[in-house]
């Protein structure tokens, strides 16, 4: 599947997939992995002071050879320090990391946003007001408070998005959609890590197994013949055509097959 861009509410566009630097370490380790992200095609990077690797993100950005204008940068609080650490003159999107960072209150933090707009440190600060800054982890109620007095809407709300929190997040997503605020969803893979025995991991693994085996068969250069009584499954089969395994993955599946060989049916 191709990762397109998503339009912000001023009709500018941001890449619809981003590389986040949380838990990506420090020093060479962080620079290497951020470099790798740029090298495979990520052009949107999500950093935060709290992640303690903004300098590494800046070093990777400079080493990447990418032009500053071709990379999208999201950061949270303390913008001047972050710009210095990243070694950039501005960031594209300035996020208030969460409601608890909106201190002492939401109106005051938006005044801070206005000052940032005037400083030119955030590219999407627009003359009319606040629409260049985004928020993170804002609920519908908090967004309503913000919109009540904001001259313009925030560009984005960055929230956790995975299947086991959708009962909480769907109303936020719908509200943002209605208001023209782009939702950035973080931690989509969290169920695989934190709820390993849960139903989402089970279904994800079941689907992955199916898609992976079709992609593996395709990698052998054969015409893949499959079947199902279920329309949804047939759609999955078709979409698996976009899915390509790495050579090492194919080799790992080959080896697993050889380690447990079976006879052909008679
Ligand atoms: N605004 C906020 O409050 C906030 C909060 C959290 C995150 N974020 C942003 O969102 C970014 C992404 O968050 P995230 O790391 O939680 O995203 P994620 O996509 O849910 O998780 C990525 C992690 O999942 C692991 N993973 C992927 N598939 C797996 C599998 N099958 N089994 C076990 N582990 C698997 C990866 O491990 P490997 O490294 O081994 O591949 C990787 O470390 C962060 O870097 C940060 O920029 C923002």
- pLDDT tens digits for range 56-83: 999 999 999 998 788 876 665 567 777 8
The Cα-based distances of 171 to 134, 141, 159 in angstroms read 18, 10, 12
Would you please indicate which residues are annotated as catalytic (active-site) residues? 51, 97
Q: Is the CB of 21 under 6 A from ligand 1?
A: yes
Same domain, 219 and 139: no
Residues 177 and 206 in one domain: no
pLDDT in the model for residue 266: 82
Q: What is the pLDDT of residue 75?
A: 60
| 200-213 per-position pLDDT tens digit | 999 989 888 888 99
Same domain, 60 and 113: yes
Does ligand 1 lie within 6 Å of residue 46's CB atom?
A: yes
Q: Which residue has the higher pLDDT, 153 or 127?
A: 153
How many alpha carbons fall within 13 Å on the CB side of residue 244?
A: 6
Q: What are phi and psi of 93, to 5 degrees?
A: -135, 130
Same domain, 18 and 150: yes
pLDDT band at 169 (very low <50, low <70, confident <90, very high): very high
Cβ of residue 186 lying under 6 Å from some atom of ligand 1: yes
* pLDDT value for 33: 92
Residue minimizing CA distance to atom 45 of ligand 1: 20
Is any atom of ligand 1 closer than 6 Å to the C-beta of 184?
no
Domain with 218 in it: 194-259
Total count of domains within the chain: 2
264 in a structural domain: no
183 band by pLDDT with thresholds 50, 70 and 90 = very high
For the CA of 187, the nearest atom of ligand 1: 20
Residue 160 domain-assigned?
yes
């Amino acid at each position: 599947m191709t990762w397109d861009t998503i339009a912000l509410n001023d009709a500018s566009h941001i890449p619809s997939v981003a590389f986040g630097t949380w838990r990506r370490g420090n020093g060479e380790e962080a620079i290497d992995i951020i470099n790798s992200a740029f090298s495979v095609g990520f052009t949107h990077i999500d950093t935060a002071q709290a992640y303690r690797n903004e300098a590494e993100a800046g070093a990777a950005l400079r080493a990447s050879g990418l032009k500053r204008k071709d990379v999208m940068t999201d950061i949270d609080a303390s913008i001047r320090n972050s710009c210095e650490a990243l070694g950039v003159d501005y960031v594209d999107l300035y996020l208030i990391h969460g409601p608890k960072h909106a201190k002492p209150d939401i109106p005051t933090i938006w005044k801070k946003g206005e000052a940032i707009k005037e400083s030119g440190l955030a590219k999407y600060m627009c003359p009319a007001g606040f629409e260049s800054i985004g928020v993170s982890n804002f609920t519908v109620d908090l967004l309503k408070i913000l919109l009540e007095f904001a001259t313009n809407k925030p560009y984005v709300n960055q929230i956790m998005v995975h299947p086991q929190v959708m009962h909480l997040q769907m109303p936020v997503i719908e509200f943002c959609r209605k208001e023209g605020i782009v939702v950035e969803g973080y931690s989509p893979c969290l169920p695989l890590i934190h709820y390993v025995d849960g139903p989402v991991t089970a279904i994800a693994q079941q689907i992955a197994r199916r898609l992976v085996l079709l992609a593996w068969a395709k990698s052998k250069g054969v015409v893949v013949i499959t079947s199902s009584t279920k329309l949804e499954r047939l759609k999955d089969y078709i979409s698996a055509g976009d899915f390509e395994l790495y050579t090492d993955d194919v080799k790992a599946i080959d080896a697993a097959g050889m380690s447990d060989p079976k006879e052909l049916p008679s």
